[in-house]
Chain A
């Protein structure tokens, strides 16, 4: 497992590095063009105006994220949640004239996940001794179908073995890369009291594509002591649905457990005994696929910021959001408590299926996660910053959230930036979060087949989490280090440790380097 993760990590790092270098070169050229263009235009401006953004800025961000847990959603709320993610992005802000700012953000994020790998935990072994990873490959399916129809000579017979939910499989779904590009433009009025902005985004990953856009307006008044903003965000997303392998095979075999993938393979009952596959009581999953592949999001963003004194300012945010479409994840299995359990793999491992020492038996899905086609979310939050003294700032954040799926949550974040000398700042922070369970949530093997909606995704379970973090930032105020027109401005490193009260924890390290184009 570790070897697989390391290999994947090396490939991902090389891919990310190549991507970052290419994007960096393109965006620096873009930024320089923007600067030059701005200079020409500025000559013709008669009235002096301070530029909204003096110099083009480039932020390079990178992060490493690692999580582990015991309630993987792809395997029905049980199993390894081990996941590593490497992400990198470049954000460029370019002044356009005196009033405009163009921002371009390009992100590449790659993960390796034990849970996702178990979209297909099966391996087909032919009787001539060859192993064949069953990667949902069409060729495999065609060969199996051909073997079945040829009458099933011994040489065509395949035996299926399985991994457990506790170890990673080598299926295609074990890794994925998310690519996203976001382009925005904002324009300030001459008096700098009105800012309009627009934004366009596109993102793609293994099983999901997204297209987004937004428009917004910010009004400042009361001598810039009060700020009100209003924005509309829309996302038109699309699933490229991937289903659990056994459900795909069951659909291909048209429910005949003596053909295709299932031919020559024992299906075990809860005692580890092979069932009579021609009997009346057999494994019968729900094979209904998703009937709508869109997932659209419409969000309003409203905020009110107010300066309360020379040292204190506060803001209130309210982002009501409506989501419509297929809001469940078709990769995620559900097991019913009122239906018999069936397995493929080592019979002797069935009785300790739910223990991490199980490595070689897998429970066949009863269904995929099913959730309502709409979700209405209401997050409302307050932020406050207070300048304690020249060395210390207090930043507080509180959010209350509720939605029509029954999730309610509270988030509290406290950060205390501490300035150490002229160049360094420390950022100790603490975050508390709790949420109630969605009304459709069921623990592993506890959903009822008679329900309309169900999920065993523990991200929708009731839990409390605590996060502790520390960041450090070095700022070169005079931008002494520079190469050609690119000057180094700051570097910051952050580490956060996140822990739930339900067997889940995560580490995240992130790096941010900022440059200015002179």
Chain B
């Protein structure tokens, strides 16, 4: 699994050299719903997952700490 993810990271780097999207071409990418993070309104559902599940983190936010949970 780790190997696959490492390959994915390397692939992502490699793809970065394939194409450069210019600023004026980013109109679709700049749509707020395209953001690579949870919406603010999902804050509480993310928090309850960290309480009720044995794993947390890597969600583009904080992981662990701040409560007597996970």
| Chain A residues at the B interface, C-beta cutoff of 8 Å | 59, 61, 63, 65, 67, 85, 87, 89, 91, 178, 180, 201, 203, 205, 207-208, 210, 212, 214, 222-226, 233-235, 237, 239, 295, 297, 299, 301, 303-311, 313-319, 321, 323, 329, 377, 379-383, 385, 387, 393, 395, 397, 399-401, 403, 405, 407, 409, 411, 417, 425, 427, 433, 435, 438, 459-460, 465, 467, 469, 471, 473, 492-494, 496, 498, 504, 506, 508, 510-512, 514
From A438, which residue of chain B is reached at the shortest CB distance? B54
Give A382 to B25 CA distance when docked, in angstroms: 24
Give A225 to B20 CA distance when docked, in angstroms: 6
Residue contact B44 to A308, C-beta cutoff 8 Å: no
Q: With both chains docked as a complex, state the minimum distance between the C-beta of B36 and any C-beta of chain A, in angstroms.
A: 4
Known: A435-B54, A508-B45, A512-B41. A309 touches B63 (CB 8 A): no
How many A-B pairs fall under 8 Å by CB?
205
Q: With both chains docked as a complex, state the minimum distance between the C-beta of B13 and any C-beta of chain A, in angstroms.
A: 7
From B60, which residue of chain A is reached at the shortest CB distance? A317
Chain B residues closer than 8 Å to A405, beta-carbon distance: 54
Give A354 to B17 CA distance when docked, in angstroms: 62
Residue contact B55 to A210, C-beta cutoff 8 Å: no
Q: With both chains docked as a complex, state the minimum distance between the C-beta of B22 and any C-beta of chain A, in angstroms.
A: 7
Known: A304-B13, A307-B29. A385 touches B36 (CB 8 A): yes
Residue contact A380 to B29, C-beta cutoff 8 Å: no
Residue contact B23 to A223, C-beta cutoff 8 Å: yes
From A429, which residue of chain B is reached at the shortest CB distance? B42
From B35, which residue of chain A is reached at the shortest CB distance? A385
Residue contact B44 to A63, C-beta cutoff 8 Å: yes
Main secondary structure of the interface of A (DSSP, over half): strand
Residue contact B21 to A381, C-beta cutoff 8 Å: no
| Chain B residues at the A interface, C-beta cutoff of 8 Å | 1-2, 5, 8-9, 12-13, 15-16, 19-23, 25-26, 28-29, 31, 33-37, 39-45, 48-49, 51-60, 62-68, 70
Residue contact A310 to B67, C-beta cutoff 8 Å: no
Give A336 to B33 CA distance when docked, in angstroms: 50
Which 7 pairs across A and B sit closest by C-beta, in order of nearness? A235-B65, A379-B57, A379-B58, A512-B41, A297-B65, A381-B58, A401-B55
From A504, which residue of chain B is reached at the shortest CB distance? B52
Q: With both chains docked as a complex, state the minimum distance between the C-beta of B6 and any C-beta of chain A, in angstroms.
A: 9
Residue contact A208 to B48, C-beta cutoff 8 Å: no
* The residue from B8, B16, B39, B62 contacting A222, defined by CB atoms under 8 A apart: B16
* The residue from A310, A399, A417, A425 contacting B25, defined by CB atoms under 8 A apart: A310
Chain A residues closer than 8 Å to B52, beta-carbon distance: 67, 459, 498, 504, 506
Known interface pairs A317-B59, A435-B53, A506-B48; 6 further A-B residue pairs with C-beta atoms within 8 A, sorted by A's residue number? A212-B65, A223-B20, A316-B9, A379-B56, A387-B29, A459-B51
Residue contact B56 to A306, C-beta cutoff 8 Å: no
From A392, which residue of chain B is reached at the shortest CB distance? B33
Chain B residues closer than 8 Å to A506, beta-carbon distance: 48, 52
